[in-house]
Amino acid sequence: MKQDILLVGTGALATLFAVRLSEAGHSVSMLGTWKDGLASLKEKGARIVDSDGTERAFNVHATDDPREVSGAKHAIVLVKSWQTERVARQLKDVLAPDGLALTLQNGLGNRETLARDLGAGRVSLGITTTGATLLGPGLVKVGGEGILSLEQNQALGPLEAALRSSNFNLKIVPDARSLIWGKLVINAAINPLTALLRVPNGELLSHPLARKVMSALARETAEVAAAESVPLPFANPIEAVEDVARKTAKNISSMFQDVRRGAPTEIDAISGAVTKRGEEHGIPTPYNRACWQLVKAM
């Protein structure tokens, strides 16, 4: 059954989701604030460059006016963490009374922020490990195929079906916290370093000092996760991080993409969140703290 789906955001992942959902026949609207992105989406549609260089485009309804998408029953939140408070206020007016917002964002605290305005029953949690690189406004390339994991929620039914029909490798998990923290270990170890060194993910494995710092970041974040009583989805965090860096060697991390175009980063919700949670548990996180401060200083 075809669905009307609202994507909140106009960046790399939002564009990828717009392409795949549209290709499967679903009606897609995109709500955002990035003027160049909105202009391109309106004029040219959501576009993707395939591995063979072929470019494909799909029509979407793109707007910066929440009133144009009011009454939405299915919303997928794909904005940066620093935008979540604003989006929560918008969705309070936009989302239908029986609507559901699914957050697939990086970092900690996004579900809680959305739930404060929408109510816990109207927010669902998920995580994606698919990488996407924005080549230009409204134009995306897949940087590495991954898994879309959704926390079990009966209200997800129609949205889950729509995503399954849209070429996503989807699985349902009983508790997404483990995966959220697992991805946080990966993001905290890779994203700040790639942004600071201005290199693709795989380059971190080529330089002994970068590799050493990456391992320390992973270890610190895993220690904080253990203090939070969250089991990680892998036994060895350092091996997991190196495996991701290897598999996404050519990928430009989202934080590096942000720094490259002068946009705000998600460093507060990643390295900053690890540092603050570490303080609460009395766990020192000097490497995460240093990355947090250095990226903030850029």
Catalytic residues: 183
CA 20 to CA 163: how far, in whole Å?
A: 9
Q: Is the dihedral of CA 195, 199, 201, 207 positive or negative?
A: negative
The residue with tokens 């971190």 is: 204
CA 224 to CA 289: how far, in whole Å?
A: 13
Based on its alpha-carbon atoms, the radius of gyration of the chain, rounded to whole angstroms, reads 18
Strand-pairing partners, residue 75, are: 6, 101
CA 101 to CA 154: how far, in whole Å?
A: 13
Q: HSE (CB half, 13 Å, CA atoms) of 264?
A: 9
Strands (E), the chain: 4-8, 27-31, 46-49, 55-58, 61-63, 72-77, 95-103, 123-128, 131-136, 139-144, 148-151, 170-173
Helix (H, G, I), strand (E, B) or coil at 236: coil
Of 141, 131, 269, 288, nearest in space to 224 by CA: 288
CA 16 to CA 76: how far, in whole Å?
A: 12
